[in-house]
Structure 1
Amino acid sequence: MFSKWKSKKEEKHTGHTIEIMAPISGEAVSLTEVPDETFAGGHMGSGIAIRPSEGILKAPFDGTVAHIVKSSHAVILEHSSGVQLLLHIGIDTVSLKGNGFVSHISSGDQVKAGQTLIEFDLDVIRAAGCDTISPVIVTSTEETPPQVNGHYGQVTAGQDLVLTVASK
């Protein structure tokens, strides 16, 4: 009888899809290829990883810098939908204490798709014995996490689709 009326709770869960472009140029691969169980096992969330061909991290969508790690090796971006994306450059790169990383952003900044967020030196990362593979993770604190589909292969930052996120 009142089916045409939706409660606020029902409206909130009507769902939407977000397309996330590559934040780094290189080869998009499965998270299972990351040599760190926290990422490979999906403990941080669902996503993909990129084997970088160049040291530039770009914004994959218009959003807000929710948090940037002090050593500039990781950043969390928030989409206007509330979806948060963890962009983590390399594995065990926290040990570099910022060496080889140049951040162009601060927490709270508004960013535009394609904007350079962080520049990083692949040679410095490799010389320190760290893997350059970079996880791109949809983090979720929701009771029903979004459905995340990865797209693999060679990608160019800001041009190629790497993740499709459908919230419920």
Structure 2
Amino acid sequence: MIQWTPQLDTMLGLPIKSPVTGDILPLTSHPERLFNANVLPQALCIKLQHGTLVAPFASSYSCSFLDGRRLRFKHKSGLTMQLDLADSKTYRHGVAIRHLVNSGQQVQAGQAVIRLDLQLLQHSNADWVVLTILPHSAISNVLSAERFVTAAEDTAFTIQLKNHAL
């Protein structure tokens, strides 16, 4: 489970930058029942304030699941961040989503991968994303804080490692 702290201190572990701009909230705040059931142990949600999604770190990028609504960023160490866009008919018709990078490409930290039309998405309550740190043997704890974050600038997660590094 994510340990929620009043603020994130980079001295506590490895900071992972946010791939989106918006307000970090516990998963129970997400409007979709699938997500707000809190079944994903290392996940949080973000209410989007900007439509550009970026790579949180240098990684192999992949997108899948109904018009590319599930994004994965896999670091060479095996650390993987998954980003799930909310379910919306607007995505299915290709209107509100524009892929800037092909699945399978290597991306750099901060590189734009998707642009969303937030005006269209706000009408269907689809301006939310779920960020998940997938399980990894080197991870001891995952921390976050409720706050506003800017993509590629602010930390979304702080990861505490076991005895070995990623």
Same fold (TM over 0.5): yes
The higher radius of gyration belongs to: 1
Is 1:39 the counterpart of 2:9 in the alignment? no
Distance of aligned partners of 1:64 and 1:144 in 2 relative to their CA distance in 1, 3 Å threshold? closer
TM-score (norm 1): 0.76
CA distance in 2, matches of 1:110, 1:36: 31
Q: Which residue of 2 aligns with 1:126?
A: 122
**Aligned residue number for residue 86 of structure 1:** 82
How far off is 1:64 after superposition? 0.6
Single out whichever of 91-100 and 149-158 deviates more from structure 2: 91-100
Partner of 1:96: 91
Post-superposition Cα deviations, 1:75-118, rounded to whole Å, max 9, x if no partner, equal 111112212111122x2236631321000122221111110010
Q: Does 1:24 align with 2:15?
A: no
In structure 2, the partner of 1:139 is 134
Letter of the 1:23 partner, please give it: P
Which amino acid counterpart does residue 70 of structure 2 have in structure 1? A
CA contact (8 A) 2:16 2:56 kept: yes
Instruction: Note if contact 1:38-1:44 (Cα within 8 Å) is conserved in structure 2.
Output: no
Distance 2:112 2:139 in 1: 28
> What is the identity, as a one-letter code, of the residue corresponding to 2:154?
D
Unaligned runs of 5+ in 1: 1-16
In the comparison of the two structures, how many residue pairs are matched?
A: 149
| 1:109-164 CA-partner distances (Å, limit 9, x unpaired) | 1111110010001111123x233121111122x57965211132111110000101
CA–CA distance in structure 2, aligned partners of residues 84 and 125 of structure 1? 26
Distance 2:155 2:137 in 1: 26
Deviates more, 1:30-39 or 1:98-107: 30-39
State the Cα RMSD in Å: 2.3
Secondary structure of 1:28's partner?
A: strand
TM-score after normalising by structure 2: 0.77
